[in-house]
């Protein structure tokens, strides 16, 4: 029998300071000897929305190289793996200032005392403006539940952002996979027609640029029926709102409440990019036999 490699791993719940909340993340340490196919198999085995692999950085001055995988593909950028990885590095004695290598380039981050932040300077790219009727059908809603035309945008991972008219509409979403496949064919952007539907709480938001947002994100064609916390979606939404208003914005994004894993993401956007911040809590540790 071929000897098997032993790798240490841990898991964190991200964008929460409460156990069994937020978005679970698996972190695999010392993964230099793994190839992409092996990392993909391990990510599928964990079956979290993302698994991150720590590798030696290409630049000696950088803290760590991060390879991020969903159960079906590698991502160049994702929010909750970046926050979770930064907190894990802090727990290992790194920081508070970190430089993380991702597929989108080097991201500066800061982590201490169970919380982290990172700054993403890559531009928000508008990819398409999907048909509102198709998006409504994909979400299982009426077209009258949509507050303004949907927009597909990306800072490394594409999402279709749809503002809804009420919190009730957000809770009532039931994804239609047939319509989602139609959308993926009509607006190809990768493996999925990922939906980021949101509602702005006007009673809690203010005119000074602070918005309270309730968000849900669905990517079932990428084996993510619903995500409890999506930092890359929060970052892209903040960038979109900043561009629309021509002024800096600050968001408090609530996600995961409808699936029993409450999360809170902080996002600030200006002409210089987007900063995402939040806590993470260690949950499990062990070994993988590869």
User: Residue 92: is its pLDDT beyond 80?
Assistant: yes
Average pLDDT over residues 40-60: 97
Read off the pLDDT of residues 143-163 as tens digits, 9 standing for 90 and up: 999 999 999 999 999 999 999
Q: Which two tokens stand for residue 124?
A: 């928000």
User: Phi, psi at residue 16, to the nearest 5°?
Assistant: -160, 155
pLDDT band at 205 (very low <50, low <70, confident <90, very high): confident
User: Residue 89: is its pLDDT beyond 70?
Assistant: yes
Would you state the pLDDT for residue 265? Answer: 98
pLDDT band at 1 (very low <50, low <70, confident <90, very high): low
Q: Where are the domains of the chain?
A: 6-115+279-289, 125-271
Would you state the pLDDT for residue 3? Answer: 73
What pTM was estimated for this model as a whole?
0.94
In angstroms, the CA 47 to CA 70 distance is: 8
Q: Residues 6 or more apart from 151 whose CB is under 8 A from it?
A: 126, 128, 129, 130, 160, 161, 240
User: Residue 270: is its pLDDT beyond 90?
Assistant: yes
Would you state the pLDDT for residue 120? Answer: 92
Architecture of domain 125-271: Roll (3.10)
User: Residue 208: is its pLDDT beyond 70?
Assistant: no
Read off the pLDDT of residues 120-146 as tens digits, 9 standing for 90 and up: 999 999 999 999 999 999 999 999 999
pLDDT band at 189 (very low <50, low <70, confident <90, very high): confident
Fold: same for 6-115+279-289 and 125-271: yes
Average pLDDT score over the chain: 95
Q: Residues 6 or more apart from 116 whose CB is under 8 A from it?
A: 82, 83, 86, 87, 90, 109, 110, 277, 278, 279, 280
Question: Helix, strand or coil for residue 42?
Answer: helix
Would you state the pLDDT for residue 82? Answer: 97
Chain centre distance of CA 23:
9
Class at the top of the CATH hierarchy for domain 6-115+279-289: alpha beta
Active-site residue list: 50
Would you state the pLDDT for residue 2? Answer: 72
Read off the pLDDT of residues 93-129 as tens digits, 9 standing for 90 and up: 999 999 999 999 999 999 999 999 999 999 999 999 9
Q: With pLDDT > 90 as the criterion, what percentage of the chain qualifies?
A: 92
């Amino acid at each position: 029998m071929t000897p098997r490699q032993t790798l240490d791993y841990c898991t964190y719940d991200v964008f929460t300071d409460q156990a069994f909340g937020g978005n679970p993340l698996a972190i695999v340490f010392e993964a230099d000897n793994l190839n992409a196919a092996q990392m993909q198999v391990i990510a599928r085995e964990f079956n979290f929305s993302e698994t991150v692999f720590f590798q030696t950085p290409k630049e000696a001055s950088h803290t760590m190289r991060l390879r991020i995988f969903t159960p079906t593909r590698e991502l160049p950028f994702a929010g909750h793996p970046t926050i979770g990885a930064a907190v894990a590095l802090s727990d290992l004695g790194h920081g508070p200032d970190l430089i993380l290598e991702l597929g989108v380039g080097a991201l500066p981050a800061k982590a201490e005392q169970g919380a982290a932040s990172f700054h993403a300077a890559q531009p928000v790219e508008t990819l398409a403006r999907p048909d509102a009727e198709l998006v409504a059908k994909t979400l299982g809603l009426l077209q009258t539940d949509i507050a303004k035309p949907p927009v597909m945008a990306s800072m490394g991972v594409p999402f279709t952002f749809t503002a809804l008219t009420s919190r009730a509409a957000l809770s009532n979403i039931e994804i239609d996979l047939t319509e989602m496949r139609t959308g993926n064919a009509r607006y190809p952007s990768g493996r999925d027609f990922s939906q980021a539907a949101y509602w702005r709480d006007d009673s809690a938001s203010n005119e000074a640029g602070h918005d309270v947002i309730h968000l849900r994100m669905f990517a079932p064609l990428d084996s993510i029926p619903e995500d409890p916390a999506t930092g890359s979606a929060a970052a892209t939404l903040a960038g979109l709102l900043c561009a629309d208003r021509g002024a800096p914005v600050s968001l408090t994004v609530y996600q995961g409440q409808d699936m029993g894993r409450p999360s809170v993401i902080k996002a600030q956007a200006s002409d210089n990019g987007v900063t995402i911040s939040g806590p993470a809590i260690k949950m499990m540790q062990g070994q993988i036999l590869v």
